[in-house]
Amino acid sequence: MVFKPWTERAPRHIFEDISTLTSSPIPRIEISCSLTGQVLILPNTLHFIKEALLKQGDSKLIGGLKIFRIVKNQIESEEYIEDEQLYKANESNQEELSDEIEIYQINGINIIVTPNFQDVINYEIIARDIIKFPNIEILTITPGTLPFNCNIAEIGSSSTNFPQLSPPFIITGISASLVSNSKTQSKNNIQTLVLQSEGVSGFEKINNDSINELAHYLQDKFKLNSNFIKHVESLVNTGSSVNNFGLYI
């Protein structure tokens, strides 16, 4: 009989006691203006839609949305801990401005474009507070994966001729948080459009036909002049949209 030496394998998973886990405080937001009427909320991927709308004429900056993150600071006190040979540290929380989003208005349409947040909880707290405004109608647009022959689909509402997107499906970012909060707060004032796209979340390559169809829909919905579609096409063709760029390996 041959006895082989036993070698301990490196642990693949390490379970830590729950008391050692740390949690980050939830950020706080401030909205410096009151929102009424139509509110168009876009991810950064579709920022060129905002730029085309602002070219329509009399646009104005009506306010902003500030996000404050909570920073924990350790303040050393004069109390000395004899056993540990250390001074006692007291913890204090301090707010720090982490992001600021401008809110524009044109022809009664409030326009908000959210950046690609590294801390995804920001989408949730923004959606939660915007949904609470009583007299608004929200239109949010997001890239997504659709059937091959579908350029635009709709979630929840039946106010258009776009096909309904049936589960299972995945959307992310601000649109996902808005849809989720509209359910939990029992709100039915939100319309969600999904554009045919592919790629990593936040850097999707959007189908050109989807953009063209969306431009015509927005022109009809918001009674925009004929130059809007030209502005959208120009911004996409000149590289103001991430739509034309993609890396596939």
Q: What is the pLDDT of residue 109?
A: 93
Query: Among residues 159, 62, 47, which one has the least CA distance to residue 108?
Result: 62
Q: What is the number of structural domains in the chain?
A: 1
| Run of H or E including 104 | strand 86-106
Domain hosting 223: range is 34-63+102-240
State mean pLDDT over 204-214.
90
Q: What is the pLDDT of residue 177?
A: 94
The answer, yes or no, to whether residue 53 has pLDDT greater than 60, is yes
Residue 179 domain-assigned? Answer: yes
Residue 153 domain-assigned? Answer: yes
CATH number, residue 232? 3.40.50.12120
Residue 94 domain-assigned? Answer: no
Q: Using 50, 70 and 90 to split pLDDT, how confident is the model at 23? A: low
**pLDDT higher for 175 or 15?**
175
Residue 198 domain-assigned? Answer: yes
**Residue 188 tokens, joined:** 């039915």
Range with the poorest average pLDDT among 92-106, 170-184, 219-233:
92-106
pLDDT, the chain, mean: 82
Phi, psi of 112 (to 5 degrees): -130, 130
Q: How many CB atoms are closer than 10 A to CB 63? A: 17
Residue 11 domain-assigned? Answer: no
- How long is the chain? 249
Q: What is the pLDDT of residue 96?
A: 83
Residue 95 domain-assigned? Answer: no
Residue 75 domain-assigned? Answer: no
- For the CA atoms of 115, 118, 121, 123, the dihedral, rounded to the nearest 10 degrees, stands at 10
**pLDDT higher for 217 or 92?**
217
Q: Using 50, 70 and 90 to split pLDDT, how confident is the model at 51? A: very high
State mean pLDDT over 16-20.
57
Residue 121 domain-assigned? Answer: yes
**pLDDT higher for 141 or 147?**
141
